[in-house]
Structure 1
Amino acid sequence: MIAAPIATSDKCHRCGSKLAYEGRPCHLCLSPAGFELSDGRVEKVEGVERASTVRLPKFAQPKLIRGKNIRKPRGQRAIEVAKTIGRWTWNSIGIAVVVHALALVIALFFGEHVRDVVDYVQRVDVREEIAAAPVAAAQPDEIEVPDFEPLDDEMIMPDQVIEDPDILAGDPEYEAPPEHDVYAPLPQVAPPNPAPPSHNPFRRPDAGKGLGGGQPSSTTNPPAGSGLFRNRNGESKAAAIQSHGGGSDTENAVNLGLAYLARTQDHNGSWDPNDGYRGRRPNWATSDNGYRGALTALCTLPFLAAGNSPDSGPYKKNVERAINWLMSQQTSDGCVAYKNATQMYTHTVATLALCEAYGMSGDEEIGNSAERAVRFLERTQGNGGGWDYNGYITGTGSGIERNDLSISGWGALAFKSAKAVGIKVNEKNWKSLSDLYDRHSLTNGETYYADRATGSISGTRKGIGMVGVGLTSRTVLDSERFEKRNYAAERLLLKKLPSWKDLKEPNESSENPNFNSFYGWYYGTLGVFLLNEGRGPAWEQWNDAIKKELLANQDLKGSRKGAWEAVDTWIGPLMGDFYSTALSVLCLEVYYRYNTVHRPDSETRPVTERRARPQPRNLPEVERDEPEHPVNGVVIDGVELDLDKAGHRSKYLRLLSRRDGLNSLPTLIKHLSDESTSVRSTALMEIGKLKATDAVSKVKAMLDDPDDQAIKLTVIDTLGTIGERSVYPSLVRLLSDPENSVQVAAQSALRKLANGKDFGINKRAWEDWFSRNP
């Protein structure tokens, strides 16, 4: 066998740099490429490479870690040394024999002199006791009490006095004083109820009484910030969970997911992407592989959505460290990102996290950092309205402008959160972003990935993942403008409901990858929720599917308890379990994360006022113009609404129905012909709540109206909710509809009419039952 250095790849297996010469050590990290020849074949053997904790010379460090301290913290190194010594002494018989032999020699050497030493000490003590003359004790009146009154500047306060304990450590009755825990406590989740192993070997802990009971309430008061986050705490959170389809099962899963993310957070507040991989790390994963910033911002969002902030909540320490780390990465131009290929992905998500943290806490330092991040977003927005992987003003962008609609989706959420917490956003930037999604959203609901190609990826690539991105962004930016395309996107999503099996489908190519991913699930869940305000048959179908898949596939044991494995074949291999877990938790927090963010009537002011510049005294009073009232305005329950806006008309119908009951039916029926699809949908749902049988014929006619196909599921659900059994033939006919979502909605409506009876898609069974139960 002959050892010979032979190169089998063009990259170093340690630092990933290109090898300059075949068979030579790497010119950066000096890692040897050693191989063996056996029977004429090349067999790889492990080279003697440098330890990962050794700091290489700066010129020899990989580019991603150059100039950074890669040593482990002192505490971790001490633990490793202790473990190593323990393994040596515990597992080595030779060392144990040597230690015992040495102890025996020492005992023999001093054994014959021990008795003499003890006797000598005892004799000395006895002589001293005999030699000492007795002294009479002083009488109490003879004792002079010195003046111990301290000076004023030396006064000892009561809280400075330390009393000697009666029970010392080591006593069986000794109780150690409470220690301050530097990390946020884990959620107090109740122990799981036992179940037969054959049916349920692992179960989530029960959240206890009430929704969200598995996690301690962070505060009894609503969070600071605007009404956008008002459902994240307290009674409003429990009400939102009940109203929008959540439950104790979803909250238990959220608690476990947050506990996993809290355990895996680095001491500096960030999350290392390499810690999220199961088994062996990918070959390209070195240092933080460029995704630490984006992943840290992403992992911070679930804690904020659960009601935690840097100064309140069971995970306030985790949020504080994460936000401080993000702020420490912000440069003078406002950018919160590494200068690498994921710069704007990192910055957009980080801006969203900073805005939410400011809205939840009101901390002025966080607010200033968030505002600078928003200004950087405004300056780097391309002429086409979006952002690419790199910001153009930094000099790192490409020469040809490219607008990535996936990155721009995070930008839309960041802009919306900024406006909600009182940070101004230039209207030109907002409109330019809205125009971008207008140009690249198709009438069938699909959204293009980008407006220009990059490498081998077509700019016009589209898929089910981008459908959710487009739906969420358009709903946030201008729901009325994109109403028809939003409902078309909803229909596409309902045709491709979440399925764990679909995540594992292989990628055909970079041009046609597997778009079924946690990323797509996150945007699909958020988009359908916002479009339907968390109610209606479309939301119920999507919510049932996403809950089923996520609750069934969360890890419930081991070191990754609470995590979701990143099994999606497109993004999962790049980002690991932190990515999949953070997005899964956000999907299960959708019920209370945002409060109807897309409605014009939901724009609210921040609780915390921004600091204003000091004004000179004795300024003349300026007459302020009275606010203009809308031409087609109406005041109801103390709220002034502009009926020229679709969002205001929808709110008007909800308030009117609540106030007048069945007396509002004529107005509701009138709005079934409204030009806005969302207003017609609101009128239908309010008619269903009132169980207004007088509107049955009008609602039934909408089933075949081409203009109402976008809200066909809502029409079907309303017929079932009203409870008029004479419409059952129309619903039975829909059981054979080619779209599965329509079949599901028809079955649900028939079950409501039949008081819970269920015959699936068996038309004859339904017809027979209704003929006998008119």
Structure 2
Amino acid sequence: MIAAPIATSDKCHRCGSKLAYEGRPCHLCLSPAGFELSDGRVEKVEGVERASTVRLPKFAQPKLIRGKNIRKPRGQRAIEVAKTIGRWTWNSIGIAVVVHALALVIALFFGEHVRDVVDYVQRVDVREEIAAAPVAAEQPDEIEVPDFEPLDDEMIMPDQVIEDPDILAGDPEYEAPPEHDVYAPLPQVAPPNPAPPSHNPFRRPDAGKGLGGGQPSSATNPPAGSGLFRNRNGESKAAAIQSHGGGSDTENAVNLGLAYLARTQDHNGSWDPNDGYRGRRPNWATSDNGYRGALTALCTLPFLAAGNSPDSGPYKKNVERAINWLMSQQTSDGCVAYKNATQMYTHTVATLALCEAYGMSGDEEIGNSAERAVRFLERTQGNGGGWDYNGYITGTGSGIERNDLSISGWGALAFKSAKAVGIKVNEKNWKSLSDLYDRHSLTNGETYYADRATGSISGTRKGIGMVGVGLTSRTVLDSERFEKRNYAAERLLLKKLPSWKDLKEPNESSENPNFNSFYGWYYGTLGVFLLNEGRGPAWEQWNDAIKKELLANQDLKGSRKGAWEAVDTWIGPLMGDFYSTALSVLCLEVYYRYNTVHRPDSETGPVTERRARPQPRNLPEVERDEPEHPVNGVVIDGVELDLDKAGHRSKYLRLLSRRDGLNSLPTLIKHLSDESTSVRSTALMEIGKLKATDAVSKVKAMLDDPDDQAIKLTVIDTLGTIGERSVYPSLVRLLSDPENSVQVAAQSALRKLANGKDFGINKRAWEDWFSRNP
């Protein structure tokens, strides 16, 4: 047999339509265009032919049957009906079997309650059958109402309002409650009452040099790390907001952002990165694309910063679910991460979240998990002092050591929080990390991305994003050691203030991407805040810029109300709106997230003792050494300070100025020549607060001193705060300074001298006004 194409006509032999290609089935009726011939007769048709029962469109019907109703013979139709009945019979039996099997499974699942229900129904039936006819009771003269005492915890009166902002967490239709107060409700963190584990009867070692330095406390004392986190709740939160430049606008934005993150949280406590994309997901975004762990830890931090913990706060359920999910991901070696390309990014951020959650709650289970995570960080730290994308001891690391300073920035924050809540960090690990930033931080304030290339990305790649990472890490690790480079980094950041427009600039290449990102904004905000302790002209300039951009670009309606769109072209496409929203909220929580005076070189408060755990009788008591008094120590307002430390000298000047007022001026003027830039900056700000006109000449001379260029903005601000108008020529001259930050500081100082008058950078207008108003 052979296949013979129809070549005698270009029309379909069945419907008469023109064929698009010879030898192909008809595109209308699918009639085949080829036949198998046997002895000159058509034996078999090749191709897919329409069934004869299918009614074609009228224009596609053959001429002989067009418009006619062609039916099969009655006998064939009867046979088809019989077959249909048979199929339905067998199908019905199959459906019945499936239904009974499903009922059996349900009965087995609820088996322990089935017998009770059956017995109860039978008893009710029997009682109904034997029950006598009801007899009408006599109507009493007065209706006696029993005096029931209602239970307060079981009654809900109509005028009561139940508010639980995270009860519908994960529901995409959930809307945050309306804001009425000037500030968001300030939740109080309840004192913890942890049950001590039996396997560890000893107390953790003292971490006297950590931020906050406090040991985890008992139920009658403040929570662990309360020194570092004390501004997250209560009146101190409101005071910190007002003192450091926040307001009701920033808190309202924070509330909206937290509500968005709460309602997009999965029921298991994590955040799915794929839910954060707008519109169509990227082609590579499959499963959780490896970022679920890192993103979950990142989204947990804003809730903790707002004063929520696993056992207190309006979002305590969200925090509890998130922390439980992170702990469920922790393996026996302490790692809280998938062993994939983002392992150490996930683990460092997760360690930070666990340490803060422990500090907010004092829960021992969280504390043990956090300590194991810190130990994993210590073991996986490279000889160069940092971490790469993979941990070395897990078998997932590369053969050649690489130290990534971006990942190591999260490691520095994790170490810092661990020490703050009483988890000991090996000093060798701390110093090794500090040395890493010493080697790869330039004198102009820039920080290298890594000490070794990865793929096509050079290790010496640097940009404005890494400037903030380096500034924050160096301030946390050793602010006095890196003082000059930190102030240089601050000047770089002030030259590149946050701009929403800059986020959308395209990436040129992997070697030179658009470093303007939410990631860079987060580290820049935290670094400038910690360096200046949330005050001064440099912080004011940065804070004004970050507030302006974030408040103007938050989504205020729709399903993503409260979110910030991840418009940055470098990291945004990888992480989505959850990443941009979490970091934006953290930027607006910076005013109270950390207590500014609790830094490694300025910790002076007493160490809060942990509650003594019940110890076995055969174990000796743990003895603590008496603290040593500093050689160059001084006690002021009950606080012992070591004046050999720059941080302690700064605190001494603040306490002295508050106690003695203008009588402290000689000491403040003396410290304007201190070797530490931060101490000179503190002395300037205290002189400005006192409006000490006797110090004007000394302060004015610092404008041209090369050693004081790092704090030039503070010098300018102090001249304006003192209020002596004779210095206006020096300030007017600075309106032509090539650095925009200096021009802005000079304008601000002139406005203070002119009681609010503002002539911008118009020198002649300023000079004319001051000549008429000496």
Q: Is TM > 0.5 for Structure 1 vs Structure 2?
A: yes
Provide, for residues 68-87 of structure 1, a one-character-per-residue CA deviation record: whole Å limited to 9, x for no partner.
99999999999999999999
Provide, for residues 601-653 of structure 1, a one-character-per-residue CA deviation record: whole Å limited to 9, x for no partner.
65488998668786564888898754321111111111111111000000000
Distance in 2 (CA, whole Å) between partners of 1:621 and 1:138 is 78
Deviates more, 1:20-29 or 1:495-504: 20-29
Shift in CA distance, 721/434, structure 1 to aligned 2, threshold 3 Å = same
Distance in 1 (CA, whole Å) between partners of 2:493 and 2:291 is 29
Provide, for residues 353-382 of structure 1, a one-character-per-residue CA deviation record: whole Å limited to 9, x for no partner.
000000000000000000000000000000
Structure 1 residue 670, shift from structure 2 partner: 0.3
Structure 1 residue 309, shift from structure 2 partner: 0.2
Given that 1:184 and 1:314 are in contact with CA atoms closer than 8 Å, whether structure 2 keeps it comes out as no
Shift in CA distance, 128/44, structure 1 to aligned 2, threshold 3 Å = closer
Given that 1:64 and 1:289 are in contact with CA atoms closer than 8 Å, whether structure 2 keeps it comes out as no
Given that 2:12 and 2:18 are in contact with CA atoms closer than 8 Å, whether structure 1 keeps it comes out as yes
Shift in CA distance, 265/13, structure 1 to aligned 2, threshold 3 Å = farther
Given that 1:525 and 1:587 are in contact with CA atoms closer than 8 Å, whether structure 2 keeps it comes out as yes
Given that 1:348 and 1:411 are in contact with CA atoms closer than 8 Å, whether structure 2 keeps it comes out as yes
Q: CA-atom RMSD, angstroms? A: 18.0
Distance in 2 (CA, whole Å) between partners of 1:450 and 1:87 is 71
Distance in 2 (CA, whole Å) between partners of 1:89 and 1:612 is 76
Distance in 1 (CA, whole Å) between partners of 2:62 and 2:518 is 31
Given that 1:596 and 1:602 are in contact with CA atoms closer than 8 Å, whether structure 2 keeps it comes out as no
Distance in 2 (CA, whole Å) between partners of 1:597 and 1:76 is 95
Which secondary structure does the structure 1 equivalent of 2:334 belong to?
coil
Shift in CA distance, 129/52, structure 1 to aligned 2, threshold 3 Å = same
Shift in CA distance, 86/317, structure 1 to aligned 2, threshold 3 Å = farther
- Tell me the residue number matched to 1:699: 699
Specify which structure has the bigger relative contact order, considering alpha-carbon pairs within 8 angstroms and separated by 6 or more residues.
2
Structure 1 residue 339, shift from structure 2 partner: 1.0
Given that 1:65 and 1:287 are in contact with CA atoms closer than 8 Å, whether structure 2 keeps it comes out as no
- Tell me the residue number matched to 2:450: 450
Alignment of 1:90-101 (within 5 A): none
Shift in CA distance, 140/490, structure 1 to aligned 2, threshold 3 Å = closer
Deviates more, 1:247-256 or 1:600-609: 600-609
Given that 1:187 and 1:215 are in contact with CA atoms closer than 8 Å, whether structure 2 keeps it comes out as no
Given that 2:290 and 2:338 are in contact with CA atoms closer than 8 Å, whether structure 1 keeps it comes out as yes
- Tell me the residue number matched to 1:52: 52
Distance in 1 (CA, whole Å) between partners of 2:201 and 2:570 is 31
Structure 1 residue 226, shift from structure 2 partner: 2.7
Shift in CA distance, 104/533, structure 1 to aligned 2, threshold 3 Å = closer
Alignment of 1:24-63 (within 5 A): none
> How many pairs are equivalent?
774
Structure 1 residue 599, shift from structure 2 partner: 2.7
Shift in CA distance, 293/736, structure 1 to aligned 2, threshold 3 Å = same
Structure 1 residue 596, shift from structure 2 partner: 1.8
Given that 1:478 and 1:598 are in contact with CA atoms closer than 8 Å, whether structure 2 keeps it comes out as no
Gapped runs of 5+ residues in structure 1? none
Given that 1:15 and 1:286 are in contact with CA atoms closer than 8 Å, whether structure 2 keeps it comes out as no
Provide, for residues 374-432 of structure 1, a one-character-per-residue CA deviation record: whole Å limited to 9, x for no partner.
00000000000000000000010000000000000000000000000000000000000
Given that 1:529 and 1:590 are in contact with CA atoms closer than 8 Å, whether structure 2 keeps it comes out as yes
Alignment of 1:322-721 (within 5 A): 322-596=322-596, 599-600=599-600, 603=603, 617=617, 626-721=626-721
Shift in CA distance, 637/77, structure 1 to aligned 2, threshold 3 Å = farther
Given that 1:447 and 1:462 are in contact with CA atoms closer than 8 Å, whether structure 2 keeps it comes out as yes
Provide, for residues 117-155 of structure 1, a one-character-per-residue CA deviation record: whole Å limited to 9, x for no partner.
999999999999999999999999999999999999999
Provide, for residues 574-611 of structure 1, a one-character-per-residue CA deviation record: whole Å limited to 9, x for no partner.
00000000000000000000012663465488998668
Shift in CA distance, 53/229, structure 1 to aligned 2, threshold 3 Å = farther
Given that 2:172 and 2:264 are in contact with CA atoms closer than 8 Å, whether structure 1 keeps it comes out as no
Provide, for residues 258-293 of structure 1, a one-character-per-residue CA deviation record: whole Å limited to 9, x for no partner.
000001000000000000000000000111010000
Deviates more, 1:345-354 or 1:610-619: 610-619
Shift in CA distance, 769/72, structure 1 to aligned 2, threshold 3 Å = farther
Shift in CA distance, 457/3, structure 1 to aligned 2, threshold 3 Å = farther
Which secondary structure does the structure 2 equivalent of 1:338 belong to?
coil
Structure 1 residue 60, shift from structure 2 partner: 45
Which secondary structure does the structure 1 equivalent of 2:15 belong to?
coil
Shift in CA distance, 401/748, structure 1 to aligned 2, threshold 3 Å = same
Provide, for residues 435-484 of structure 1, a one-character-per-residue CA deviation record: whole Å limited to 9, x for no partner.
00000000000000000000000000000000000000000000000000
Structure 1 residue 225, shift from structure 2 partner: 3.3
Shift in CA distance, 369/703, structure 1 to aligned 2, threshold 3 Å = same
TM-score (norm 2): 0.73
Provide, for residues 20-40 of structure 1, a one-character-per-residue CA deviation record: whole Å limited to 9, x for no partner.
999999999999999999999
Distance in 2 (CA, whole Å) between partners of 1:514 and 1:593 is 28
Deviates more, 1:600-609 or 1:217-226: 217-226
Given that 1:358 and 1:364 are in contact with CA atoms closer than 8 Å, whether structure 2 keeps it comes out as yes
Given that 2:188 and 2:313 are in contact with CA atoms closer than 8 Å, whether structure 1 keeps it comes out as no
Shift in CA distance, 765/393, structure 1 to aligned 2, threshold 3 Å = same
Distance in 2 (CA, whole Å) between partners of 1:571 and 1:543 is 23
Distance in 2 (CA, whole Å) between partners of 1:71 and 1:324 is 69
Shift in CA distance, 506/426, structure 1 to aligned 2, threshold 3 Å = same
Shift in CA distance, 697/115, structure 1 to aligned 2, threshold 3 Å = closer
